Amino acid sequence: MMHDQLLRQSAQLLETSGVGIPIEGRSILNRTGLLHFCTLTTSIIFLTLSLAMSASAQGSFSTGDSELEKWIVEPKLRFDEWLDDQRPSLEIAFDLSMRIVEKSGGSGTGHVNWVGIDLIDRLHWDGFPIATILVQAYAVEVRDLPATPIIFDDSRDWQLQWRFVYLDFDRWSHKGISWKVGHFQVPFGLEWTSDTTGTLRQYTNAKNLGVKADWGMSAHGTVDGLDYEVSVTRGSGNEYRDVSDNHVFAMRIGASPGHNLSYGVSYFDAQLTGQDAPVGMSTFPKPDRVRYGVDARWNFPSFQLLGECSRGTNDDLDVWSALLEANIHSPDERNLAYLQTVGSATKGVSDWDERVQAHLGVKRLIGPSLSLEAQWTHDLELPGNALLGDTGVLQIRYRF
């Protein structure tokens, strides 16, 4: 019944506009764009499936026993065994990745390459564990990206990036309290419940909050089935910088994401440095930010629905942000396909400046080290008169 209604509504909209769907006097989805959308969607799915299938077809490759992999990985395996004898709690992994970015409009092909080290260890005192130490240091190179993040000085440059670097004093985690200090993820929204480090699938924190990970400290734990984290951080992002009164206060409380239906509420109050614009933005004009957010995750067999929305202010301007995601995954969660729509808007002088994008992506883990990801982004609406376009990204990542 509802489906029929939606179909009728859609048909009416198409007929009314003649060429597309009229929203506030503008056509944001015309027929050509939609055909483009469908064609590219199908192409990307085919392309990624072909890649995944060809890799999967090589049994030795998928199990990590190929001669090439043995040659690359065997010294590391011997090192791991030695390390286990020396210090069983210490683990080190190397992370290599190449990302290819292609944007419509003839801006050329861009690349993001990185090599990183991922280290975790448990610290003990008098036989008792007192803290977990995590260090993720990455050398990141960018080349000719459609929008170069402002932390890079040039369109061809490299930077040392700290993903997470922290000490988590978790001795009393069984009593519901731990204390984290260092560079860690700001607790807000869906991003907090998902692993998005180095993945194409992202949620809204980087663009919406202006900071995804930050230097500072937090209290976190689980009490009566509710996960919580409350943090106070510097508000300077990748690098620690004390500019004036820059700070971030953020918190999230929610039901465990391991359950069938999980949900959370978040709060964010920040005075950012205004120096590191979020990815995809060339300037960062409004560093004083407040957000109230809710998020939820609902699970069905092989299928998940996720939603997040927040509202608040950038300085004295009203803003909102929303995300809807539907994904399918294999039972071992090594294969994932998702469709996201992400919207955000800032109240301008007379109207809202809106940005709405759709992301379609797939991810496949192959064997113990390799992951392949592809994502296609379609602009549905951009602020001002910016041209709508498409962006395709492919990523190959190898961790060992």
Partner 1 sequence: MHRYSMHRYLRICTAMITVVLGTPLRIAVFLGAVFLGAVFLVPVSLVHGQVAAEEPSGRLVRPDRTAPFCSSPNYAAQASQLFSELEFDDVVEVNFLINDQLRKRIQADLGADYLPYGLLGKHVMYFPVTKTKMPIGMMHFRKMAGSKFGLVTVGWRLDLQFNLVDFMVEGRDPATIEIMNIRNELNEKFRGAGSEQLKSWLEDGTAQLSSLGKRDLEVEHLNDGVHDVLGIVVYLARLTRTSAKLRFSEQKVTVSGNEIHEPSMADHILHFVSIPEALIEQVVDLQKVASSELKAACATVKSQKDEVLSEIHCESISASRLIMSGSSEPYYSVDSRMQLVGTLSIRWIVNPQLELIGVHVLGSSADMSEEVKAMERSSLERHIGARLIPEAECASGTRILVNRVLTLCQIFKKADH
What is the footprint of partner 1 within residues 220-239 (CB under 8 A)?
221-222
Q: By CB under 8 A, tell whether 211 contacts partner 1.
A: no
Q: Judged by CB under 8 A, which of 341, 382, 389, 396 binds partner 1?
A: 341
User: Measured from the CB of residue 354, what is the shortest distance to partner 1 in angstroms?
Assistant: 7
How far, in Å, CA of 378 to CA of 332, rounded?
A: 29
For partner 1, which is the closer residue by CB, 190 or 277? Answer: 190
- Interface of this chain with partner 1, residues 350 to 379, rule: CB under 8 A: 352, 354, 356, 358, 362, 364-365, 368-371
Q: By CB under 8 A, tell whether 329 contacts partner 1.
A: yes
User: Measured from the CB of residue 380, what is the shortest distance to partner 1 in angstroms?
Assistant: 6
- Interface of this chain with partner 1, residues 31 to 50, rule: CB under 8 A: 34, 37-38, 41-42, 45-46, 49
Binding mask 60-89 for partner 1 (x = CB under 8 A): x--xxx-------x---x--xx--xx--xx
For partner 1, which is the closer residue by CB, 85 or 154? Answer: 85
For partner 1, which is the closer residue by CB, 275 or 313? Answer: 313
- Interface of this chain with partner 1, residues 125 to 164, rule: CB under 8 A: 127-129, 132, 134, 136, 163-164
Q: Judged by CB under 8 A, which of 18, 54, 59, 82 binds partner 1?
A: 59
Stretch that binds partner 1, among 203-211, 238-246, 253-261, 277-285 (CB under 8 A): 253-261
For partner 1, which is the closer residue by CB, 155 or 330? Answer: 330
Q: Judged by CB under 8 A, which of 15, 67, 195, 316 binds partner 1?
A: 195
For partner 1, which is the closer residue by CB, 105 or 176? Answer: 176
Q: Judged by CB under 8 A, which of 47, 91, 156, 281 binds partner 1?
A: 91
Stretch that binds partner 1, among 145-153, 192-200, 229-237, 242-250 (CB under 8 A): 192-200
